[in-house]
Structure 1
Amino acid sequence: MTRAVQRTCFHEADPALPLWRRAGAEGVGTLLLVLAASGAGIAAARLFAAVPGLVLPVMALVLAGALVSLIVALGSVSGGHFNPLITGVQWLAGERGGVCTLAYVAAQLVGGAVGGWGAARLWQVAATGSGGLGWHGVADELVASAGLMLVVFACARSRRATTGPFAVGAWLVAGVLATPTTSYANPAVVLGALVAAGPLALGAGSALPYWIGEVAGALVALLLVTLLFPRTEAIA
């Protein structure tokens, strides 16, 4: 990997750092992200039971705040992905090797599942096993994921290392409020939502449709980024 790539956001500062450390940071970050999102949903549903319209804005702000802080805190170690879509698109773009990609994605998925389960245990609420739009949510997740990946990779290609985390957080607030699925836009979050409780929880019938929409959205974003930000430097 060239030094030019290392200076951008969503790439680790030191690719020579042991893979277990970098993948571990991805697992911990994803766990905390899903735990925060799920726990905030449970708390908001209780606090605003009389005003349910406030639950979604609260979740959007908590999710964005958690993600920005985690990217800033752990980004230098792993790149701060916490999302298999980011890691996978980097692999497709030739920015990350296959072994590293598999390790990152595995850590993210495990972290997401543990985060969703952990929030339910902390709040002592049983997982609902319901929620989501099923196949009607494919297009919504495609749009949400395409928008998120476009922001991520446009910031990376623009080398806006310091502003990238905040741009992603801002988009998430917009995406959560603007899409009917509330913008999961992350296969690890979907996996965590299957064992979560509260507003974040998803039923098994929504997982596959959401994943399909998310992958399709990531591919659309990769095409757009390739057209808008042609690479002029080789990546080793």
Structure 2
Amino acid sequence: MTSPAPLARRLLAELVGTALLVTVVVGSGIAAERLSPNDVGLQLLQNSIATALGLTVLILLLGPVSGAHLNPVVSLADWFLGRRAGRGLPASDLGAYVVAQTLGAVGGAVLANAMFDVGTAVSGKDRFTAGQGLGEVVATAGLVAVIFALARTGRGALAAPAVGAYIGAAYWFTSSTSFANPAVTIGRVFSDTFAGIAPGSVPGFLVVQLLGCVVGVALTLALYPDSGQSADDVVVPQERDARPAPDTLHTP
């Protein structure tokens, strides 16, 4: 018999992974502003490339421990799709994952601020509009569908580059530049820099990200009705600790 890694190890992986993801997003945004101060398009290109590559590496590094969800939407979808099949993230672990991801995101923003000596301050960048809200629904739904389609079709080995590529592309084809992650959205509040987001914009983004999760789950079920059977392999399969098989030769 096998079982997932202990919850404490998985939560550490989710906290560290989400922290480093936000560090990449915020840090590369600060660097882009400094390197290309008069070219916003180039800044976004630099920010998106760094984020795509950084996310790919983090999934490869931490996926075997926790699955490398690094995103409350992914954890929520994993629980929902896997619950009927007795697979995926247990309900008892879902809240802990979300807390670890959110705390990690805030810590990652603070770390990026400290590395670039900008000081931690609440962002003043108002971002949310109806168009950006629609962009977030598209970005989040697509992310969920990509992840679960890969797991269902046994292509988990491609999850790291595919997810990194999708997020990198969604920076450009969505009007919101693809947050697609409630924890990262909250973390970005704590950096008044290129990647920052004002607190007043957060509730709108969280609502449409959850809506995107619903759309992504619905699309996944329409395409792959039995996708819940592969929920243990999201985002990538976790290594499992071996447990001795029960002794079936003796009865009490």
Deviates more, 1:198-207 or 1:129-138: 129-138
In terms of Rg, which structure is larger? 2
Instruction: Name the residue aligned to 1:7.
Output: none
1:216 to 201, 211, 215: 211
Instruction: Name the residue aligned to 2:127.
Output: 133
Instruction: Name the residue aligned to 2:175.
Output: 180
2:109 to 102, 110, 116: 116
Instruction: Please tell me whether the aligned partners of residues 132 and 181 of structure 1 are also in contact (alpha carbons under 8 angstroms).
Output: no
Partners of 1:97 and 1:208 lie apart in 2 by 26
State whether structure 2 residue 150 is matched by structure 1 residue 155: yes
Supply the AA of the counterpart residue of 1:216: L
Structure 2: gaps (5+ residues): 233-252
1:69-88 alpha-carbon deviations (Å, 9 max, x no partner): 00001100000110111000
Instruction: Name the residue aligned to 2:30.
Output: 42
Deviates more, 1:213-222 or 1:118-127: 118-127
Q: Secondary structure in 1 aligned to 2:154?
A: coil
Supply the AA of the counterpart residue of 1:196: S
State the aligned residue count: 224
Instruction: Name the residue aligned to 1:10.
Output: none
Superposition map of 1:157-172 within 5 A: 157-172=152-167
Instruction: Name the residue aligned to 1:105.
Output: 98
Q: Return the offset for 1:233.
A: 7.8
Instruction: Please tell me whether the aligned partners of residues 112 and 189 of structure 1 are also in contact (alpha carbons under 8 angstroms).
Output: yes
RMSD value, Cα: 1.8
Instruction: Please tell me whether the aligned partners of residues 148 and 227 of structure 2 are also in contact (alpha carbons under 8 angstroms).
Output: no
Supply the AA of the counterpart residue of 1:21: R
Instruction: Please tell me whether the aligned partners of residues 146 and 218 of structure 1 are also in contact (alpha carbons under 8 angstroms).
Output: yes
Partners of 1:224 and 1:206 lie apart in 2 by 27
Partners of 1:78 and 1:68 lie apart in 2 by 15
State whether structure 2 residue 57 is matched by structure 1 residue 62: no
**TM-score calculated relative to the size of structure 2:** 0.84
Instruction: Please tell me whether the aligned partners of residues 117 and 196 of structure 1 are also in contact (alpha carbons under 8 angstroms).
Output: yes
State whether structure 2 residue 187 is matched by structure 1 residue 192: yes
Supply the AA of the counterpart residue of 1:129: S
Instruction: Please tell me whether the aligned partners of residues 116 and 197 of structure 1 are also in contact (alpha carbons under 8 angstroms).
Output: no
1:20-74 alpha-carbon deviations (Å, 9 max, x no partner): 1011100000000001110000000100013332000111111111110000011
Q: Return the offset for 1:197.
A: 3.1
Supply the AA of the counterpart residue of 1:59: N
1:167-211 alpha-carbon deviations (Å, 9 max, x no partner): 111111110111121100001110111002321100011100001
Structure 1: gaps (5+ residues): 4-13
Partners of 1:219 and 1:205 lie apart in 2 by 23
Partners of 1:184 and 1:131 lie apart in 2 by 14
Instruction: Name the residue aligned to 1:207.
Output: 202
Partners of 2:3 and 2:98 lie apart in 1 by 17
Give the fraction of aligned pairs with identical amino acids, expressed as a percent.
35
Instruction: Name the residue aligned to 1:6.
Output: none
Instruction: Please tell me whether the aligned partners of residues 5 and 66 of structure 2 are also in contact (alpha carbons under 8 angstroms).
Output: no
Partners of 2:143 and 2:228 lie apart in 1 by 24
